[in-house]
Chains A and B, each alone.
Chain A
Amino acid sequence: GQQLNQSPQSMFIQEGEDVSMNCTSSSIFNTWLWYKQDPGEGPVLLIALYKAGELTSNGRLTAQFGITRKDSFLNISASIPSDVGIYFCAGRALNNNDMRFGAGTRLTVKP
């Protein structure tokens, strides 16, 4: 079955630093999504990717759909305290309607 491995599990960084996290799958995906979840809230969609090699930005966030179609990356530049939260990747494999989620990356930003 499709497995999503998201890393790292957690990150502790200083305000102003850049952040990078990634997700890999055991099968080829045709959709990659990145969500952020604040404490006590539901995940909010940040970026959606639909083509291999696609690079999409949303403010200081940039995500890429890997060329192999088995991975995706999320970068956050110049982090600020409100970037704190849990970031989830999600993806859908070819010929499958199931959306799989990674276990999340918990980001802590120290002022």
Chain B
Amino acid sequence: ETGVTQTPRHLVMGMTNKKSLKCEQHLGHNAMYWYKQSAKKPLELMFVYSLEERVENNSVPSRFSPECPNSSHLFLHLHTLQPEDSALYLCASSQVLGLEQFFGPGTRLTVL
């Protein structure tokens, strides 16, 4: 297994569901990131973790809850989402904060 992996690749959920997105990096990096990518919009940084501590939370609604149990894994817990939350959710990692980021393939989320 190489690079940054994300599961699931596709997810359809109702507004009352609870689901989690998983990201795993096999690069030995210390920083991990969650981004939201909506159609025709720039990448939106959601959360940043460095050495398992959250260092940035860009005014993200509380229905998105990140978790970083160790430097290789990052989760995004979802509950009571809205249709406008439908997007591609990208995970990335970097050796340390500020260095080039390597992205996973993303999870395509659809909220009905």
| Residues of A bordering B, CB below 8 Å | 31, 33, 35, 40-45, 48, 88, 90, 92, 96-99, 101-104
In whole Å, how far is A110's beta carbon from the nearest beta carbon of chain B?
Answer: 22
Report which residue of A43, A90, A92, A101 has the largest number of chain B beta carbons within 10 angstroms of its beta carbon: A43
B103:A104 contact, CB within 8 angstroms: no
B105:A101 contact, CB within 8 angstroms: no
B42:A41 contact, CB within 8 angstroms: no
Which residues on A sit within 8 Å (CB–CB) of B105? 40-42
B97 within 8 A of A: yes
Bound complex: CA A101 to CA B101 (Å): 11
The answer to whether A103 and B42 touch (CB under 8 A), given A40-B108, A42-B90, A97-B97, is: yes
Interface of B is mostly: loop
Find the A residue at minimum CB distance from B94.
A99
Counted as pairs of residues, one from A and one from B, with CB atoms less than 8 Å apart, the total is: 43
B98:A88 contact, CB within 8 angstroms: no
B106:A41 contact, CB within 8 angstroms: yes
17 contacts between A and B (CB under 8 A): A31-B98, A31-B99, A33-B100, A35-B103, A40-B108, A41-B106, A42-B6, A42-B92, A42-B105, A48-B100, A90-B101, A92-B98, A98-B98, A99-B94, A99-B98, A99-B101, A103-B41
B43 within 8 A of A: yes
Bound complex: CA A101 to CA B35 (Å): 11
Which residues on A sit within 8 Å (CB–CB) of B102? 45
Which residues on A sit within 8 Å (CB–CB) of B106? 40-42
Which residues on B sit within 8 Å (CB–CB) of A88? 43
Report which residue of B92, B98, B106 has the largest number of chain A beta carbons within 10 angstroms of its beta carbon: B98
Which residues on B sit within 8 Å (CB–CB) of A35? 103
Which residues on A sit within 8 Å (CB–CB) of B100? 31, 33, 45, 48, 99
In whole Å, how far is B23's beta carbon from the nearest beta carbon of chain A?
Answer: 11
